[in-house]
Amino acid sequence: MAGDGSWVKYEFSVPVGGDWYLWGKVIAPSVADNSFHWGVDIKDEEAKAADDDKNNIWDFFEKEELRAYYTTDWVWFRLNSRSGKPFPGLELDQYINFGDTYNPTPLNLSAGKHTLHVIDREDGTFIDALFATTSRAHRQSPTAVEATDKLTTLWGDLKQRR
């Protein structure tokens, strides 16, 4: 966790290289509380609240017709990219499980160790767990995964420090 409480870093390994799709178990209660910044394989000092070539915005239910899905319950939501950099795809084109449009953000990762920084953006958005798959068409809610630490605890600590 950042000393100033602005981000948490999740270390993970993938067994094979290729396109991976990440999901987060999140709470996104409103249009004012529905996003994080994120970065993959960046240095700690590069983890910042920015939409640039190293960090992006992970939005939940941003598309107008999806705002009815805002909730204070935990829901699984796939990683997306607002601007299309550094990973491909535009956020409003990436929705899954809502109609026929399906174009999630792929993370092209080599086999081995990686990091995901989840960076504070809006104080009412929370994350509890992560799920990774190589299936672009994965449509059901991910099943439980083994975690070293619960992200909710880390995220709660982060929020209290601000």
What are the extents of the domains in the chain? 7-161
Pick the CATH number of 7-161 from 1.20.120, 2.60.40, 2.60.120, 2.40.50: 2.60.120
pLDDT band at residue 58 using 50, 70 and 90 as cut-offs: confident
pLDDT band at residue 50 using 50, 70 and 90 as cut-offs: confident
What integer is the mean pLDDT of 16-33? 90
Judge whether 127 and 54 are in contact, CB under 8 Å: no
Judge whether 15 and 111 are in contact, CB under 8 Å: yes
- What per-residue confidence (pLDDT) applies to 3? 84
Residue that wins the pLDDT comparison between 127 and 143: 127
pLDDT exceeds cutoff 80 at 28 = yes
- 27 phi/psi in degrees, rounded to 5: -120, 125
pLDDT exceeds cutoff 90 at 151 = no
Instruction: Output the average pLDDT for the chain.
Output: 79
- What per-residue confidence (pLDDT) applies to 118? 94
- Cα–chain center distance at 75: 12
- Cα–chain center distance at 60: 9
Most confident of 38-47, 83-92, 102-111, 140-149: 38-47
What integer is the mean pLDDT of 130-139? 77
pTM: predicted TM-score of the whole model, two decimal places: 0.78
Amino acid identity of residue 17, one-letter, is G
What integer is the mean pLDDT of 77-94? 72
Least confident of 46-60, 68-82, 133-147: 133-147
